[in-house]
Amino acid sequence: MTALLALDTAAETVGVAVAVGGTVRAEVVEASAAQHSRRLFRLIDAALEGAGVAKGDLNAVAVTAGPGSFTGLRIGVAAAKGIAYGLGLPLAGVSTLEALAAGAMPFPGVVAPILDARKGQVYGGAWDGRTGQRVVPEGVWEPSALAAALAEGTGPVLVLGSGLGPYAEIFSRALGERFLAVDSSRWAVAVRQVARLGLRELEAGRAVEPARLVPIYFRLSEAEEKKRLAALGAGPGS
């Protein structure tokens, strides 16, 4: 039976799950964005102990690869790479948005997770709540543009995630009676879904060698953007 370790540090929580034979045996989560790196390895040990699985018994690792907090993603992906590389295991990257959507399924309509990307933007996409098929591409969106894309369909649209906080009114206006909002208590990624989707990636042959996995940022970090602009300003003719 496949034993998989799943990690999530993409947003507000730090979570670890261990699945064996397709069943999640242990899941531990701490609802704090601070000190991801310190908390993560303690939670890994707790989850493995709770599942009765030794590190040497693992067959694969999965991690939320983005989008999300730049710092959080780097910590989670680096930890997943280190564990997978050290144990010689395949590594599966899981979309943060898809994992968030999966936690709200099944649903008789469209599930649209949105994360606050700041700077007046959201990370978002949408999935069919019955089949799990993606129906709106993932990416960084202007809230009004994503709302308009969702409004092109039919049936109810279940919206969830931190992007609802500042932009709920935009989605409500665009979708009208089709708009349904998930309570903020359910905005966090369920790491058990990261485990489930990681197993799917593994079974489909889409897991990779640790060195090949890169975080999904969709845009440059603020520091990287400043560096890019500084380089442009220092170019010829400046």
130-180 confidence digits (pLDDT tens):
999 999 999 999 999 999 999 999 999 999 999 999 999 999 999 999 999
Query: What residues have CB less than 8 Å from 181, skipping those under 6 apart?
Result: 158, 159, 160, 164, 168, 171, 172
Q: How many CB atoms lie within 10 A of CB 70?
A: 17
Q: Are residues 91 and 121 in the same domain?
A: no
- What is the band of 39 on the pLDDT scale with cuts at 50, 70, 90? confident
**Residues 125 and 46 reside in one and the same domain:** no
Q: Do residue 22 and residue 62 come from a single domain? A: yes
Domain match, 80 and 17 both: yes
Which pLDDT tens digit goes with each residue over 86-130?
999 999 999 999 999 999 999 999 999 999 999 999 999 999 999
Q: How many domains does the chain have?
A: 2
Structure tokens at 156: 């109810």
Q: Are residues 60 and 41 in the same domain?
A: yes
- CA neighbours closer than 13 Å in the CB half-sphere of residue 51: 29
Do 18 and 87 have their domain in common? yes
Is the pLDDT at 37 greater than 80? The verdict is no
Residue 230 lies in a domain: no
Question: Residue 228 falls within a domain, yes or no?
Answer: no
Output the domain CATH number for residue 140. 3.30.420.40
**pLDDT at 233 (0 to 100):** 66
Give the single-character DSSP code of 22: T
Kindly state whether residues 20 and 88 are assigned to the same domain: yes
Residues 86 and 200 in one domain: yes
Q: Which residues contact 158 (CB under 8 A, 6 or more apart)?
A: 104, 107, 109, 110, 111, 112, 129, 180, 181, 182
Are both 120 and 12 inside the same structural domain?
no
Instruction: Note whether residue 234 is domain-resident.
Output: no
Q: What is the pLDDT of residue 196?
A: 97
The reply to whether 38 falls in a domain is yes
pLDDT at 208 over 60: yes
Could you tell me if residue 237 is inside a domain?
Answer: no
Which uninterrupted H or E stretch holds 151? helix 143-151
Same domain? For 151 and 176 the reply is yes
Residue 77 domain boundaries = 3-95+190-221
Kindly report the pTM of this predicted structure: 0.90
Cα 83 to Cα 77, 96, 126, 209, distances in angstroms: 10, 20, 31, 12
Residue 151 belongs to some domain of the structure? yes
CB atoms near residue 38 (< 10 Å): 11
Same domain, 110 and 135: yes
197 and 182 part of one domain: no
Residue 82 within any structural domain of the chain: yes
What one-character DSSP code corresponds to residue 194?
Answer: H
Structural domain includes residue 231: no
Sign of the C-alpha dihedral computed for residues 201, 207, 212 and 213 taken in this order: positive
